[in-house]
Amino acid sequence: MEYRDKILALAQTSPLLPSGVAKALATNSIMAGAMLSEMCSKGLLKTSALRVGGSPLYLIPGKEEQLLNHLESLNEKDRRTVLKLQQEKIIRHSEADPLTQVSLVQVKDFAKPLTVTYENKQETFWKWFTISDKDAEELIRTKLEGPKAIETPKPAEQKTLTEKPIEKTAPVKPKPAAGDFWEQTQTFLTKNSITLTEQTTIKKKIEFDLIIELPSPVGKLSYYCKARNKKKITEGDISAAYVQGQIKKLPVIYLTNGELTKQAKEILTQLKGITIAKV
């Protein structure tokens, strides 16, 4: 259709807003929005996570660098995070401060997560969106100072975690008790009719990553649950769990027997989709 060619021509030099398309095609914003949505559904255009006046930008796939001309639309913290990542190319999640960790999740157009295995532990790194996974791997090797220490995921597995769907698995029975805290966690799940579908031990007896299902009027809802035996829960603990929930595309329950620090309570007011529960 003719309008598609016109819109693609407009998008060659700059991402588009519905209002601009409406003006260029002498139509209204509702019609322009419908045209843009239809082109996105066919893969001719894509939308940005960045918002301008509440609306995403529409751009041709492969022309993501055009979004750098719209950094002024980000809040100050996210803009600083983007510029920092642009300069460093790779940021190790565990080395970033809590607010930067949260910000890296928000600036999805520019920050892409990669997971590597180092010293038998999975770690998340954030790469600048224009560099390849191969180049990112070399930068990560340098940062870790151990070229043989990284086990890179196989090509078929090298999707970003945000793209990885949560697989449907049959409910699993909790593993044998790994200490008093696990027993408390198990009791909490049973008491609240929560189904455990996945369990990963992060630190024996004190820290577990769970995928759980909660009953609701509309059916079972999946959550990522961080179960942590710790006296003081910091803002770093909260932000790390929040980021994992964002990566898994699941709301978060932070299950603990500890108390939140003042800073942890403050960062909770800035985050959505995370709930604190006490065992």
Predicted confidence at residue 213, as pLDDT, reads 95
pLDDT digits (tens, 9 = 90+) for 202-261: 888 899 999 999 988 888 999 999 999 999 998 888 988 888 888 888 999 999 999 999
Q: Where are the alpha helices (DSSP H) in 175-248?
A: 180-191, 235-248
Contact 208, 182 (CB under 8 A): yes
Query: Dihedrals φ, ψ of 5, to 5°?
Result: -60, -40
At 44, list the tokens.
């001719």
The answer to whether the pTM exceeds 0.85 is no
Query: Dihedrals φ, ψ of 269, to 5°?
Result: -70, -15
Strands 195-203, 207-214: pairing kind: antiparallel
Classify 219 as helix, strand or coil: coil
**192-218 b/e (C-beta count within 10 Å ≥ 16 → b):** eebbbbbbeeeeeeebbbbbbbbeeee
188 C-beta neighbours (distance < 10 Å), count = 18
Contact 225, 88 (CB under 8 A): no
pLDDT digits (tens, 9 = 90+) for 3-36: 899 999 999 999 999 999 999 999 998 899 899 9
Report the C-alpha gap between 225 and 266 in whole angstroms: 20
Sign of CA dihedral 58, 61, 63, 69: positive
Please provide the distance, in angstroms rounded to a whole number, between the alpha carbons at the two ends of the chain.
Answer: 59
Task: Output the DSSP codes for 58-87.
Answer: EE-TT-GGGGGGGGGGS-HHHHHHHHHHHH
Q: What average pLDDT does this structure show over 198-202?
A: 92
CATH 1.10.10.10 fits 2-63, yes or no: yes
At 185, list the tokens.
């966690």
Predicted confidence at residue 161, as pLDDT, reads 39
Q: The domain 180-278: what is its CATH number? A: 3.40.1350.10
E strands along the chain, which residues? 46-52, 55-59, 90-92, 111-118, 121-128, 150-151, 195-203, 207-214, 221-228, 232-233, 252-256, 259-260, 274-278
Q: Give the domain ranges of the chain.
A: 2-63, 74-163, 180-278
On the question of pLDDT at 99 being above 80, the answer is yes
